[in-house]
Structure 1
């Protein structure tokens, strides 16, 4: 289980490839250039495929459901093809400024990007300045600590490019799903110039194990640029004591920060993002809408659905049978024969059609007090894997609402082994 949790934690820490919404698990990080790297990447991918379905499939759920915030993508700092506030004030420029810019305007140094951010902030003592220029392969970014007299607070901004009409832009602007990522408020709006903006007031740790708040504004312009700003009520994102009740910038000032024309020279130094390729139909037709429809049709009549959502390869419902809320989720993954030996060894039940079934009862993985997870994990001779998990709470991050999940293990097995999953 420890290896599984490490992979899930890495996913939620902001892997850029997590934005690829596939039902097959996690993508490999980059494309290795030598055979040894390829082998390591395949082993890594295989471990992640195993992890994604051995325990909870929640990690897959957050992709596309407010991916920018829920998966921690704001921490990757990538500026070309995305945006994000990097993870701390120790980041440095890794490439010297180029003489010419790939964009329409001249390159800007890290110091110029930092000064842009500083010039947009209210009066106060500034320290801990760090950043990257527009020539940096990770993209322009600025980070500092502002003390307005009420306590030091970290503030960071990055500028990037994204296809404004693509799936990634939609994901970055989407409010997180509260089933997986609690927050205080989130709203989206379209501005007069056609830019789209999301303003979110949430927490550095979704389980709220410390009181660090993270407020975020994310802007995507019609011409394909993004500005992503986050602020905290502590002098560092992680590992620093809270210094104030709330971050220093109001929602209005945070909006003004990302929409300021002062970022236009930074944008102009960047090359435009290429249009995203047309999305291909998901394997075996297992798109979110199809999975959700089939899933709901297999639930017992007593399980009244109070919330639902689906994505390629994944769907969840929150049901209530009169005894309290219960989260039930399903992951449908074709072509998974490569993990059969690892996950379906001795002890697996083999059905007459060759389907192998294993069941697990374990504590929840996301910190909710008293939460348990019951799972039915299946794989068919053609490699189609269907995993169904149920919890005794409406979310893994909130305390248990009932003694056991709303579906029995027998019912979970019935859903996972249904012949409907093999059909289009």
Structure 2
């Protein structure tokens, strides 16, 4: 008898958003367990509502954040210890035992997933990677010289279990690995049932006010990357006026630094950006970011042409430690195929200011220059 049970592992709000969509489309005829980890802390709040929907056979919770941190860049002796005690580790970190699965869907090649690959090594269980933003398009996570865990005999076993990646736009992939890229079904914004379900799971509340300019923060501080993104936020805020500017914080950053520095009011919800796009009209809104994938999903997932400013040409620092050049190639490819008439990539701060004014921002005079702001890793702006 064929095993009809599959597992989806989610580490982020975007992954949960996609997991619910997959459950109702690609996996509509399957039995599905969901494993929600603590990699993104706000996910824990969704577990009771996920259970109440009855969408999944079981909703399992896992404490994998510290485990991943311990083993991600660990030396061989520490990896040996971790992979020798997988059964005990999983019993300690999961609130329920895992079952026999025909497929396991995941987005991140983290130590926890690699341990699962060892656990199911002798089982006819396929591991299938699904989209987690631009990293799924540009990073070959299994390349031997990328990380020590790829060269570890146990840590590298996942190579034998994963053969394909599910992406909303497979032809954009530039990873350079041997994995097959397959299409995830696009999301129909008219799907009211999906929208209501996601609204309930994420406890979505309609914003009390319409914000004209929204800056999508990225996880630079969570990853210890020194950047000038706060200075870019301040320049945008000064150009359009504080009352019309809002920063959406990245859920993995340890603190809401833009809010603490007075660059923005508090963002009203922890729901994924894609849920905002499902619910709200894009008219008269402008999205600003360095290169957040969330700014691209309006086009990739929904086919929407929202006013979008990509500031990666003004960015100081590396977005990705090892694949920054591939990311830039991906952004160029995306721009050629999806940009539309409302997609802007300013080359200078003066061009950025002109575009913001053209899109309806008001100029606010200031004696401060953008060039006064260095790459920022502390709380001081200047």
TM-score bin (small chain): under 0.3
| Higher relative helix content | 2
> If the length of structure 1 is used for normalisation, what is the TM-score?
0.23
Structure number with the bigger relative contact order (C-alpha 8 A, sep ≥ 6) is 2
Question: Which of 1 and 2 has greater Rg?
Answer: 1
**Which structure features the higher share of strand residues?**
1
Give TM-score, length-normalised by structure 2. 0.24
